Amino acid sequence: MVAKISADALASMLTELPAWKKLQGSDAIKRVIKFDDFNQAWGFMTRIALEAERINHHPEWLNVYGKVEVTLTTHECDGLSERDILLARFIDSTVHEMTTNREKEHA
């Protein structure tokens, strides 16, 4: 069984993940990422999908052109777990890497 993160632990963890917001009325966190185009958004989603499969924890998401909305929650514990925080950190590092590489390409 996957353990649910306490409210205090979640509040502490979210200070490390400022791009993520707790959804009101739900035990989930959400981040919206905007890319230059659909190709970049789809590439991002592919990278996340591979990691999600590896750790066996899958996001809920929506993609419209260059925008990707990611929602994380753990259905097994009916709330947020360490799995969500692990995947959120991976998503943040992937966005940072893709953004940094994009800035280098345009320099």
Given 16, 36, 53, 78, the catalytic residue? 53
Which residue in the list 51, 58, 69, 92 is annotated as catalytic?
Answer: 58
User: Has 37 been annotated as catalytic?
Assistant: no
Does 92 participate in catalysis according to the annotation?
Answer: no
Answer yes or no: 106 catalytic.
no
User: Per-residue b/e over 52-86, b at no fewer than 16 CB within 10 Å?
Assistant: beeeebebebebeebebebbbbbeebebbbbbbbe
Write down the catalytic residue from 16, 36, 37, 76. 76
User: What residue type is 100 in one-letter code?
Assistant: T
Is 16 one of the annotated active-site residues of the chain? no
**58 labelled catalytic:** yes
Catalytic residue (choose from 16, 36, 60, 75)? 75
Is residue 94 packed enough to be buried (19+ CB in 10 Å), middle (13-18) or exposed (0-12)? middle
75 is catalytic: yes
> Could you list the active site residues?
53, 57-58, 75-76, 84
